[in-house]
A and B are shown apart, each in its own frame.
Chain A
Amino acid sequence: MKLLLAYSLRNVWVRSSTAGLTIGGLALVSLILLAVLMLGNGLNRALIESGSPDNVLLLRKGATTEIASGIYRDQAHIVRTLADIAHTSGGEPLAIPELVVLISLAKSGAETPANVVVRGTRPDAFRLRPQVRLRQGRTWQPGTTEIVIGTQIATRFLRDGIGTHLRIGKRDWLVVGITESQGTAFESEIWGDVDQLMSAYGRDSYSSLTLRLSSSSAFQSIDDAIAADTRLLLQVKRERDYYREKSMTMATFIRLLGFTFTFIFAVGAVLGGTMTMYGAVASRTREIGMLRALGFRPRQILSALLFESLMLGALAGLLAIGGGMALQFVTLSTMNFSTFSELAFRLTLTPTSALATMGFALGISMVGGIPPAIRAARLSVAAALRAPGR
């Protein structure tokens, strides 16, 4: 049936101006959907994938965020002695108490400053979160007021990068390195020495403690051990769950908004596609009558016309995915509602979202193509042969 294929393809080609409009419309809608999906992917990456599967986050009972949480030094000490915690090659338990504070930073090119997360931690944090890597410079010397900044901070706030002096708490800090972390939330953070940060803020308790399990299945026993110790009064969460909960509201909101838009535009696109295909059928009524007179079945004509709309859909899908590739270079920032800090993320194209977009484009081109194709197949042959036109 190569000939019928050629027939459909050349019909699309011949009507390229109207077909082009339809393809453009379909592509635009598909691109909107793809952008929503990419937004979701980017948020996921920034928030959920910030957590590592084997990491466990400890917060004060009742606290929902690191900012609002507190862990005393002796509590942290007890936790570090528990079994089931992974150890570094030096024999240290991989359990790091951290202080998280917010500072207000002037954003380059913007009037209002934004909140930025400063995390007091230890150099082992790079072992705990292997997705965070130094891109430039070096890490801070323990016991000094040196800091490293995430790449998003470097591009959006501290353009001068390494060598910049910054006031945090009551001290002056020096940027000595820039980190990157595969699009996760850590790219929007500043890291430094935890003890220096605590004294800069006059605090004597940490915010949270993150530890690496010796094995993924050890979660229950850590959870039990901490619950059993009345001195601890801490809640235990897998790091991924923590980030997932944190991002839930925002991700849902963005998705809802995006899908609403997509839906509205999709209705328009289906109508547009239907009009194009109706036009294609109407101008070809006599031709279709002729094919029926030769002995072609309604079903064969239906498939040729559907194939034609699918071609339109496929072209639109490809265009949309091309657009999505360009969108990958866009970075968006939003207020992270749970920490009130600035969070930047990239629109992220995944194979799944590309496939979904192609499916969507094909789907709505089908929906648009079916009614006219059915109409064409049902035409009375004698009446179709009397029709005017091409």
Chain B
Amino acid sequence: MTPPVVEFQRVTKSYFRGEQEIPVLKDFSLSVPPGRFLAIMGPSGSGKTTILNLVAGLDRPTQGTIRAAGLAVSQQGESDLARWRARHIGFVFQFYNLIPVLTASENVELPLLLSTLTRQERVKHVQAALGLVGLKDRIHHYPRQLSGGQEQRVGIARAIVSDPTILLADEPTGNLDRTAAESVMALLSRLHRELNKTILMVTHDPRAAEYAQETLHFDKGTVASS
């Protein structure tokens, strides 16, 4: 059996506001095999974003260990994590988080600045990624010249341009209308099917969750899978 690509072992995560402890995850375990498309659903404040942050090493567990893409994430130093993230993690955000002063292709090129690729190779990768999301003709557009759906597709191109092991998407359709959401979801499931990406997607939208192979339901500390 292939080892899981993401693994939470009895992870507890609490935030502290002064003396007050805010428990978010308690004894949470999770195992995601490679190539899985997993949706995470649950009410607001239940800890969905926290899980994604823990996978990417942007936040640390209070207890327990987390492994992702072959690394014990919870035990790494900041600069090792940054290097590992650049190589293995792609992020898709609810509000796209494109840099407004950079064009679509420049936004997509950003993660590649952290690689050893030459300028020509970078340009090739960027064009391939933008081609994949169907935005070849928008290369020189600035984010404000794009629709929400197009912006999110640029965001997805940026997430996949460095060919990461894991895609983390936090409410990727949360800000889009029905049609734009459907095209973004179709794109994500294509990435999953054709490029065999492991995808962890947080969503409030059951329609979006249907594209996933499996959905994790969070509710007040308890987890149910379907």
Chain A residues in the interface with B (C-beta under 8 A) = 1, 3-4, 6-7, 10-11, 13-14, 286-287, 290-298, 380-382, 385-386, 390
Please tell me if the beta carbons of A293 and B91 are within 8 angstroms of each other in the complex: yes
Please tell me if the beta carbons of A294 and B86 are within 8 angstroms of each other in the complex: yes
Please tell me if the beta carbons of B82 and A295 are within 8 angstroms of each other in the complex: yes
User: Which residue of the partner chain A has the closest CB to B81?
Assistant: A295
Other-chain contact of B109, A3, A290, A291, A382 (Cβ < 8 Å): A3
Please tell me if the beta carbons of A291 and B101 are within 8 angstroms of each other in the complex: no
Please tell me if the beta carbons of B58 and A4 are within 8 angstroms of each other in the complex: no
Q: Which residues of A contact B101 (CB under 8 A)?
A: 7, 10-11, 13-14
User: In the bound complex, how far is the Cα of B80 from the Cα of A297, in angstroms?
Assistant: 10
Q: Nearest Cβ distance between residue A274 and chain B, in whole angstroms?
A: 22
Other-chain contact of A290, B49, B93, B113, B114 (Cβ < 8 Å): B93
Return the CB mask of B94-129 against A: 1 if under 8 Å, else 0. 010101111000100111011000000000000000
Tell me whether A381 and B58 are in contact in the complex, defined as CB-CB below 8 angstroms, given that A1-B113, A7-B102 are known contacts.
yes
User: Is B201 close to A, CB under 8 A?
Assistant: no
Q: Which residues of A contact B210 (CB under 8 A)?
A: none
Please tell me if the beta carbons of A295 and B111 are within 8 angstroms of each other in the complex: yes
User: Which residue of the partner chain B has the closest CB to A9?
Assistant: B101
Tell me whether A3 and B97 are in contact in the complex, defined as CB-CB below 8 angstroms, given that A296-B82, A297-B79 are known contacts.
no
Q: Which residues of A contact B84 (CB under 8 A)?
A: 295
Please tell me if the beta carbons of B91 and A294 are within 8 angstroms of each other in the complex: yes
Q: Which residues of A contact B87 (CB under 8 A)?
A: 295
Q: Which residues of B contact A10 (CB under 8 A)?
A: 101-102
A-B pairs, 10 with minimum CB distance: A295-B86, A10-B101, A290-B97, A295-B85, A381-B58, A382-B59, A382-B53, A382-B58, A295-B82, A294-B111
Q: Nearest Cβ distance between residue A280 and chain B, in whole angstroms?
A: 11
User: In the bound complex, how far is the Cα of B82 from the Cα of A292, in angstroms?
Assistant: 8
User: Is B178 close to A, CB under 8 A?
Assistant: no
Q: Nearest Cβ distance between residue B122 and chain A, in whole angstroms?
A: 9
Q: Taking chain A's interface residues, is the majority helix, strand, or loop, or is none over half, making it mixed?
A: helix
User: In the bound complex, how far is the Cα of B96 from the Cα of A290, in angstroms?
Assistant: 10
Please tell me if the beta carbons of B114 and A294 are within 8 angstroms of each other in the complex: yes
Q: Which residues of B contact A298 (CB under 8 A)?
A: 78
Given contacts A11-B101, A290-B97, 6 further A-B contacts (CB under 8 A): A3-B110, A10-B102, A14-B101, A286-B95, A290-B91, A385-B53
Please tell me if the beta carbons of A6 and B85 are within 8 angstroms of each other in the complex: no
User: In the bound complex, how far is the Cα of B87 from the Cα of A292, in angstroms?
Assistant: 13
Q: Nearest Cβ distance between residue A65 and chain B, in whole angstroms?
A: 64
Please list 27 pairs of residues, one from A and one from B, whose beta carbons are closer than 8 Å in the complex, sorted by A's number. Answer: A3-B102, A3-B109, A3-B110, A6-B102, A7-B102, A14-B101, A286-B95, A286-B97, A287-B97, A290-B91, A290-B93, A290-B97, A290-B99, A292-B58, A294-B85, A294-B86, A294-B158, A295-B85, A295-B87, A297-B82, A298-B78, A380-B59, A381-B59, A382-B53, A382-B59, A386-B49, A390-B100
User: Is B56 close to A, CB under 8 A?
Assistant: yes
Please tell me if the beta carbons of B113 and A4 are within 8 angstroms of each other in the complex: yes
Please tell me if the beta carbons of A3 and B100 are within 8 angstroms of each other in the complex: no
User: Is B83 close to A, CB under 8 A?
Assistant: yes
Across chains A and B, the number of contacting residue pairs, with CB separation under 8 Å, is 70
Other-chain contact of B58, A7, A293, A390 (Cβ < 8 Å): A293
Q: Nearest Cβ distance between residue B37 and chain A, in whole angstroms?
A: 21
Q: Nearest Cβ distance between residue B77 and chain A, in whole angstroms?
A: 12
Q: Which residues of B contact A3 (CB under 8 A)?
A: 102, 106, 109-110, 113
Q: Which residues of B contact A297 (CB under 8 A)?
A: 79, 82
User: In the bound complex, how far is the Cα of B83 from the Cα of A382, in angstroms?
Assistant: 17
User: Which residue of the partner chain A has the closest CB to B112?
Assistant: A3
User: In the bound complex, how far is the Cα of B114 from the Cα of A1, in angstroms?
Assistant: 10
Q: Which residues of A contact B158 (CB under 8 A)?
A: 294
User: In the bound complex, how far is the Cα of B122 from the Cα of A1, in angstroms?
Assistant: 12
Q: Which residues of B contact A385 (CB under 8 A)?
A: 53, 58, 93, 97
User: In the bound complex, how far is the Cα of B122 from the Cα of A3, in angstroms?
Assistant: 12
Return the CB mask of B189-226 against A: 1 if under 8 Å, else 0. 00000000000000000000000000000000000000
Q: Nearest Cβ distance between residue A5 and chain B, in whole angstroms?
A: 11
Q: Which residues of A contact B91 (CB under 8 A)?
A: 290, 293-294
User: In the bound complex, how far is the Cα of B113 from the Cα of A286, in angstroms?
Assistant: 19
Please tell me if the beta carbons of B113 and A6 are within 8 angstroms of each other in the complex: no
Q: Which residues of A contact B109 (CB under 8 A)?
A: 3
Q: Nearest Cβ distance between residue A290 and chain B, in whole angstroms?
A: 4
User: In the bound complex, how far is the Cα of B96 from the Cα of A287, in angstroms?
Assistant: 10
Q: Nearest Cβ distance between residue A220 and chain B, in whole angstroms?
A: 66
**Which of A11, A287, A293, A297 has its CB near the most chain B CB atoms (within 10 A)?**
A293
Tell me whether A293 and B85 are in contact in the complex, defined as CB-CB below 8 angstroms, given that A286-B97, A385-B58 are known contacts.
yes
Please tell me if the beta carbons of A294 and B110 are within 8 angstroms of each other in the complex: yes
Q: Which residues of B contact A6 (CB under 8 A)?
A: 102, 106
Return the CB mask of B176-197 against A: 1 if under 8 Å, else 0. 0000000000000000000000
User: In the bound complex, how far is the Cα of B57 from the Cα of A382, in angstroms?
Assistant: 9
User: In the bound complex, how far is the Cα of B101 from the Cα of A14, in angstroms?
Assistant: 7
User: Which residue of the partner chain A has the closest CB to B83?
Assistant: A295
User: In the bound complex, how far is the Cα of B82 from the Cα of A286, in angstroms?
Assistant: 17
